[in-house]
Each structure stands twice: as C-alpha cells, then as structure tokens.
C-alpha cells in the first residue's frame, strides 16, 4: 500500500477559488501546509495558503516548479489541462488522476465514459459540426438541449431546441464548436451524491442531496432526499461504478436527475468537492473537504453520517447590489452558519458565500436557510 502523506506535508492545489479555500481550512486544522497556483493573486485560496503562485495553467515550467515543492497535487476545479496534470505528475502524486480531469472537462468524453460504464443517462449524441446537428435532432427528438462540449457551467454554453427551431441558430448561440445534444428529461428533482474514494479503494458518500436551481445556478441544497431504500442503493451503486471505472482517488460529485417514473439518470460528474456538499462542513463529522484531504493523502476516510437535518443556500453577488448585507440579522437564528469566500468584488450571479442552517426536519432546515438569506436584505 502507498505510504500516507502525513500532517506537516504540503498539499498543492491547482486552482484558487472557494473550493480550494475550504480545502485549505481543513488542511490547516489537520496540520498540513497549502500551496496554490492560479492566474490570479489575493484569491480565496491564496488568502489561506502558505504560498500563492501566480501563473497560467498552460505555463508548464511553472507547473513543474510548483509540483517540485509539494507532496501531493489536487484540484479545486476541473478545467486544468491534461498537459499541466502530466507535468505535475512527474514530481508528485496527482489525485485524482489527470485522465479523470480530461474526461470530466469535456461533455462528449464524459458522456462516452458514462455510457461505457453502463450508467443510465439521458439520450445523447456528440455533434462535431452544424452539418451533423439536423440528423442528431431527428434521432434524439425535441425538445433537446445543445451544450458546448467543453467549459460550460451554471447553465452557460447551452441552448434549448424546440420542434421547428432552426438548428443553425442554436449552433451559433453556443459558439459554433464541438457540442453534445441531449434529450430533455422530464425530471421530478435534481439530486447529487458526493462521494470520496481512498487510495485503497475504500469509499464513503454523503447520501442523496436535493438541489434546486434559479437561473441555472444552484440556489438551495437540502440533505437526505427521502427516496426509497432501492433508489438510495441505486444512487450509491452509481457512485461506486463511476469512482471505480475512473479509478478516482479523492472526492467526486455525481449530479442526477430523478425522473417522474422514479428512475435515476446521471447528468454529469465533477471530480472535486461540489457546491451541494458545502452543507457537510457543519453537518458531518468529516466534511467533503476533510474527505478530500484524507483521500489524496492516503489516510483512512472519515465518518460521513449526518448530525441533524440541514440545508444550504448560496449567496450571490446580487445581495450586495444596494447596500452591504445585514449579517447580524441573518445570524440571529442560532442554527445558522455563515461562510464568505473572501472575493474582492460582488457581481450579479457570482458565488460570494453560503449559509447553512439546521432544522427540526429537512423542510424546516430549508426554510431557516432561506429566511436567513432574506434577512440579509433588511
């Protein structure tokens, strides 16, 4: 078995946003040091890190030097090139592997990998050129969603196509590049399951989390979606299949659709901690960031059980539009916890922080989280 990377070692994080920040906070608690690399300075991760390196991800010399000074490399977002991952791997373990990033950062590769693993998805086809789109629409049917193959998130890079719509208009709307066409799923709920897998193949997960979106951005996450024991077992089997098929070491989130007939379909994967898993920081003995740290360092995984019903709401830059938020009003509820990411400027749609709230049950937790956010505007 691989020797564990013990406290006192240096964790290298490619990326410098809020996910890296919260990983750094877990690392600090356990006595690790953190180096981060990204094109920006004064970043959410950089504010917590021991060392912040400012360099482009395409600067392989900088990546090479960065990896020489750390004991393990991990990621806080997936849009790091496979070349950068390969350069880092020459000097330190890279977890998850660069190949996992290569798959997850391109929808066509991701969908193909899910299909190869035998996982249930919406019907899809890769579309490399406009000339292929009409025939793909005939096979998939409408309504359908045309999505850019790479670099899409929070609803960006995608357009809905209805019967009678001009395919050329949709193609132009996504930038006229490689894409994936997906059939629209008539879903009852959007879910996620965040799981961690260690070097030894051991796995834990945080159960099914219900996610509600506003304007294509995650708005509210509520832990412990009340599904049947079979559906919960199916979700865990999906997570195990994905993690094993891709040989993931670290944390990975699987986003799912629950169809109106009760079937679970895989929408996409993210090979890192996930926005919907932030509620685990207060709600579980070992959060998703604790698990990421334990996994990439080769340590035993922690306890993922829920302490109490919990929900989380995102805080977007829109809340700052008229005046500074009223933090005291939000925190009058003793079951509320506030997390701010240290971002320099608030913009509409930008994730600036989140609020987690406990409740008597999941509905009460959701109401208290939403009430705390509303109180920010008083």
Give the helix/strand (H/E) hosting 211: strand 203-214
Question: By percentage, how much of the chain surpasses pLDDT 90?
Answer: 93
DSSP category for residue 334: T
Phi/psi of residue 12, nearest 5 degrees: -95, 125
Identify which of 5, 4, 9, 3 has the alpha carbon closest to the alpha carbon of residue 32.
Answer: 9
Which domains, ranges and CATH numbers included, belong to the chain?
A: 10-94 (3.40.50.20), 123-183 (3.30.1490.20), 187-375 (3.30.470.20)
> What's the pLDDT score for residue 154?
57
> What's the pLDDT score for residue 79?
81
| Cα–Cα separations (whole angstroms), residue 141 to 135, 146, 182, 261 | 10, 12, 9, 20
Cβ partners under 8 Å of residue 257, min gap 6: 122, 185, 187, 189, 190, 191, 264, 265, 267
> What's the pLDDT score for residue 152?
60
Question: Mean pLDDT throughout 298-318?
Answer: 97
Q: What is the C-alpha separation between 109 and 135, in angstroms, rounded?
A: 20
Question: Mean pLDDT throughout 193-221?
Answer: 97
> What's the pLDDT score for residue 151?
65
Q: What is the C-alpha separation between 277 and 274, in angstroms, rounded?
A: 5
Is there a contact between 315 and 373 (Cβ–Cβ < 8 Å)? yes
User: 355-368, pLDDT tens digit by residue?
Assistant: 999 999 999 999 99
Is there a contact between 151 and 178 (Cβ–Cβ < 8 Å)? no
Output the six-digit token pair for 29: 């608690």
User: 257-292, pLDDT tens digit by residue?
Assistant: 999 999 999 999 999 999 999 999 999 999 999 999
């Amino acid at each position: 078995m691989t020797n564990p990377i013990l406290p006192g070692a240096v964790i290298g994080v490619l990326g410098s946003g809020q996910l890296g920040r919260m990983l750094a906070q877990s690392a600090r608690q356990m006595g690790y040091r953190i180096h981060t690399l990204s094109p920006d300075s004064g970043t959410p991760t950089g504010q917590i890190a021991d060392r912040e390196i400012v360099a482009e991800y395409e600067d392989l010399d900088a990546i090479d030097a960065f990896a020489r000074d750390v004991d393990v490399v991990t990621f806080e977002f997936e849009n790091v090139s496979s070349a950068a991952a390969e350069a880092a791997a020459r000097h330190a373990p890279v977890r998850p592997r660069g190949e996992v990033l290569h798959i997850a950062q391109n929808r066509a590769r991701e969908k193909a990998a899910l299909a190869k693993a035998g996982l249930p998805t919406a019907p899809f086809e890769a579309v490399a050129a406009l000339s292929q789109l009409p025939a793909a629409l005939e096979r998939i049917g409408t309504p359908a969603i045309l999505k850019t193959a790479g670099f899409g998130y929070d609803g960006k890079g995608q357009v809905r196509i209805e019967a009678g719509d001009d395919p050329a208009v949709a193609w132009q709307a996504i930038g006229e590049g490689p894409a994936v066409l997906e059939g629209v799923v008539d879903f009852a709920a959007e879910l996620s399951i965040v799981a961690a897998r260690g070097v030894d193949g051991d796995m834990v997960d945080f159960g099914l989390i219900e996610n509600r979106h506003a304007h294509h951005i995650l708005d509210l996450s509520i832990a412990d979606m009340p599904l049947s024991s079979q559906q919960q077992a199916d979700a865990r089997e999906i997570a195990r299949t994905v993690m094993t098929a891709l040989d993931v070491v670290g944390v990975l989130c699987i986003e799912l659709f629950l169809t109106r007939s009760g079937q679970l379909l895989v929408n996409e994967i993210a090979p890192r901690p996930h926005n919907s898993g932030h509620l685990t920081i207060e709600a579980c003995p070992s959060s998703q960031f604790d698990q990421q740290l334990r996994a990439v360092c080769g340590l035993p995984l922690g306890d993922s059980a829920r302490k109490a019903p919990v929900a989380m709401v995102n805080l977007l830059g829109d809340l700052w539009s008229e005046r500074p938020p009223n933090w005291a009003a939000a925190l009058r509820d003793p079951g509320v916890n506030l997390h701010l990411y240290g971002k320099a400027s608030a913009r509409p749609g930008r994730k600036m922080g989140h609020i987690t709230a406990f409740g008597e049950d999941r509905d009460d937790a959701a109401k208290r989280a939403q009430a705390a956010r509303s109180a920010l505007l008083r």
